[in-house]
């Protein structure tokens, strides 16, 4: 009987602990404090680094295409496919603390988010195949298709960037 009561107390304590941990996470999510303090969560830093590799690789592809270096472009396309395969893992945990433009919808519709990452992976791999086959005009179309995945995901799962200040006149 005693053991049973001890067991129940322990369960209650664990549940309360879990609740408390949950609250701390929500606290971060619910307040702009993290952003105000310029806080960078390490998980956010690493997923932003992954995202930042995409425009670099796209630039490498565009430049290699211009220079007719299709094999180099294929390497950059492969790099995008590899990074895309890593997107779901980088967003596995619900982290919205600090400086991030990720939206909570990611974790409400994680299966759809992951499917969008997979679509980028598939299209980047397809681009690499076309490039390896030496098909330059095919590659230009495949590049556009691949880039469509960026906006498709950002529109749903990323806060839009603040509007740019109007260019000075005159
Ligand atoms: C499956 C969804 C998804 C796809 C596909 C995707 N992104 Fe993102 N991207 C995000 C999210 C979410 C963020 C916000 C990350 C954060 O701030 O925590 C982001 C942020 C970024 C950032 C800003 C990184 C920073 O330093 O703040 C860049 C640049 C970017 N993405 C480029 C791209 C490009 C280019 C592609 C296509 C090749 C792409 N993304 C495809 C979801 C996606």
Q: How far, in Å, CA of 104 to CA of 108, rounded?
A: 7
Q: What is the pLDDT of residue 98?
A: 87
Any idea which residue has 């960078």 for tokens? 40
User: Nearest C-alpha to atom 2 of ligand 1 is from which residue?
Assistant: 153
Is residue 40 classed as helix, strand or coil in its secondary structure?
strand
**How far is ligand 1, taken at its centre, from the CA of residue 153, in Å?**
8
Q: Which residue among 43, 80, 158 is best mutated to probe the pocket of ligand 1, counting the most ligand atoms within 8 A of its Cβ?
A: 158
Alpha-helical regions (H) of the chain: 2-30, 33-36, 42-66, 70-85, 87-90, 105-108, 110-132, 136-157
pLDDT in tens, the chain (170 residues): 456 665 555 555 545 444 444 444 444 444 555 556 678 899 999 999 999 999 999 999 999 999 999 999 999 999 999 999 999 999 999 999 889 999 999 999 999 999 999 999 999 999 999 999 999 999 999 999 999 999 999 999 999 977 877 777 65
Q: What is the pLDDT of residue 25?
A: 47
Q: What is the pLDDT of residue 26?
A: 44
Q: What is the CB < 6 Å shell around ligand 1?
A: 44, 47-48, 51-52, 54-55, 58, 80, 87, 100-102, 106, 113, 116-117, 120, 149-150, 153-154, 157-158
Q: Quickly name the fold that domain 37-157 has.
A: 1.20.120
Q: What is the pLDDT of residue 108?
A: 97
Question: Rg of the chain's alpha carbons, rounded to an integer?
Answer: 22
**How far is ligand 1, taken at its centre, from the CA of residue 64, in Å?**
23
Domain boundaries, the chain: 1-30, 37-157
Q: What is the pTM of this model?
A: 0.81
Q: How far, in Å, CA of 32 to CA of 74, rounded?
A: 41
């Amino acid at each position: 009987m005693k053991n049973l009561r001890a067991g129940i107390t322990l369960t209650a304590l664990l549940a309360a602990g879990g609740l408390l941990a949950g609250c701390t996470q929500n606290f971060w999510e619910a307040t702009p404090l993290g952003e105000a303090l310029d806080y960078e969560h390490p998980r956010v830093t690493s997923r932003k680094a992954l995202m930042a590799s995409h425009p670099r690789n796209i630039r490498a592809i565009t430049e290699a295409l211009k220079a007719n270096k299709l094999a180099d472009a294929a390497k950059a396309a492969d790099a995008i496919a590899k990074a895309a395969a890593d997107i779901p893992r980088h967003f596995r945990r619900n982290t919205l603390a600090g400086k991030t433009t990720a939206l909570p919808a990611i974790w409400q519709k994680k299966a759809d988010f992951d499917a969008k990452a997979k679509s980028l992976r598939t299209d980047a791999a397809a681009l690499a195949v076309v490039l390896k086959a030496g098909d330059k005009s095919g590659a230009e179309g495949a590049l556009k298709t691949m880039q469509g995945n960026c906006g498709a995901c950002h529109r749903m799962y990323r806060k839009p960037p603040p509007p740019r200040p109007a260019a000075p006149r005159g």
